[in-house]
Chain A
Amino acid sequence: MSRTAAIAVRELSKTYKDVRALDNVTLELEPDRIYGLLGRNGAGKTTLMSILTGQNYAQQGTAEIFGHDPFEHDPTLARICFIRESQKYPDDFKVFQAFKSAALFFENWNEQLAQDLVQAFDLPIKRRIKKLSRGQLSAVGVIIGMASRAEITFFDEPYLGLDAVARQIFYDRLVEDFAEYPRTIVLSSHLIDEVANLLEHVIVIDKGRIVIDSDAEQLRGSAVTVTGDAAKVQEFVGTAEVIHRDALGALASVTIKAKLDGSQREQAKLMGLDLSPVSLQQLVVRSALSSTTEEALAERTEARK
């Protein structure tokens, strides 16, 4: 390896009472890329980020930021920014005071960027933080995260309560600023399609386990949905790994984990089958979620019929 990984996690486990929040997680994140940390609510996203930023600690395994355990290590902590989704602020703080504080601690803090974002989000900076709406509260976190320009920045479900326009502003400004000041960004989200285009690498966590850790580009081409006459679909699919199956009368739609080459595509065409790409969200939902969830989904689908 030519340079130190931004984040290196080995066999990390954390249990809260009877819940296994993280289960033997091993990951390596390279510097200067945008990562998506995807998963359902309660999958372990926030716990993982808390440990990576020294705000929490694991019972087993190691987490290293640029080769150092971040826990209680000021020089390493100074390179990280993590505003949690349910971040608490001092009771009497006004918005601008939170920014003033962030400017003290984040060496790369860019006041101009913060001001621009305040305008873009139309944030009342003289208002007390505890009087803000959910969306405005998210905006405060987003602004601190972006303007800090920390070497590793975590965004924890940053869009909560933000309207569509504000969310688009966030995504656009993030890409814009990233292009100018590359850094490692970890975006935690359960709105997968919305952030799909930003991500260079996708990590999916479910029930504390890493179920996908893959390049986004690769992931997008790794599955295909075959639709057509049920018998023909079955013939075409053969022994490929099926991740989802839908049937409607004589028609079937089967999603398989496979990279098709030209001749296979040609064959599908000859058989009168339709091939369609699978969106990141579908892929994550279909392949990542554990069997119990799939069963629940299947049941719901049954019920609807």
Chain B
Amino acid sequence: MNRVIKVARMQLINKGTFIGIPAMILVSAFLFTLVIWWLVRRNGAEGIMYGGGAQAPMWYFLALGIQALTLTFPFSMAMSISRRSFYLGTVALFSVCALVLSVFYYLMGLVEKATGGWGLDGRFFALQWVADNNWFIQIMFYFVLMLLLFMVGFLTATIYMRWRTTGMVVFFTLLGVLSLAVIALFTFNDFWDEFWGWALTWTAAGVTLWGGLAAVLMAGGSYLTLRRATA
């Protein structure tokens, strides 16, 4: 059997990491939200209620991206796996998990609409801005968002694996300087109103496209960095 697939199987030996924990986070976030909605309704609130809990598992993917590297990568070296196989297997497995979860979000969104927001007029999965699009964009939107967060963690961790503390210091210093420069530029030129005005015109499809591009760039960057990383 192909070693790339074996890497995915290795990552799944402990099923909690890739499946159990995200599922648990999602279920508990959802149940909490339902209870809160119910309490709010009992007090006579009107109108649609929004809950942001659907993003909860996505933040876990950030941590997962880091963990998949810092701990599993040195072990994969001991299993005589090439960096390439490790990378492909891990990213492929994550992509499949993210895709399954994205489809699940979409389906739950349908159920949400059909049941009138779980009978409480709440919006957990079918947030208007996303849910107004067709099925493909909806699924891709969630998928890209998850991939993006995973890649942020993955890239940061690869930089750590390759250049250790020095890499982290340089990376975050550069990031800080860059962010400050952009903020300063916007502030001095009074770009902020224009920027927010522009940000409001973003569509889910646009975000998906650009987010996807960013994820692909980060994926490429982390691969090139990992190629020369040591355990």
Contact = CB atoms under 8 A, between A and B. Distances in A.
A100 B13 contact: yes
Given A50-B231, A88-B231, A150 B10 contact: no
Contacts of B77: 53, 55
A88 B231 CA distance: 9
Contacts of A144: 78
Interface in B40-94: 67, 71-72, 74-75, 77-85
Contact of B80 (A82, A89, A92): A82
Nearest to A101: B10
Nearest to A130: B71
A50 B74 CA distance: 12
B228 A73 contact: no
B80 A105 contact: yes
A88 B75 contact: yes
A106 interface: yes
A80 interface: yes
Contacts of A102: 79
A50 B81 CA distance: 13
Contacts of A77: 80-82
A281 interface: no
Nearest to B11: A90
Contact of B14 (A73, A80, A90, A104): A90
Interface string A87-99: 1111111000110
A88 B230 contact: no
A88 B74 contact: yes
Contacts of B13: 93, 97, 100-101
Given A88-B231, A104-B9, A105-B6, A93 B14 contact: yes
B79 A91 contact: no
Interface residue SS majority, chain A: loop
B75 A105 contact: no
Given A72-B83, A97-B13, A104-B10, A55 B75 contact: no
Contacts of B78: 82-84, 87, 144
Nearest to A98: B75
Interface-centre pick from B10, B14, B71, B80 (highest chain A CB count, 10 A):
B80
B176 to A, nearest CB: 26
B17 interface: yes
Contacts of A89: 71, 75
Interface string B1-29: 00100100110011011000000000000
Contacts of A104: 6, 9-10, 79
Interface of A: 50, 53-57, 72-74, 77-78, 80-84, 87-93, 97-98, 100-102, 104-106, 144, 150
Interface of B: 3, 6, 9-10, 13-14, 16-17, 67, 71-72, 74-75, 77-85, 227-228, 230-231
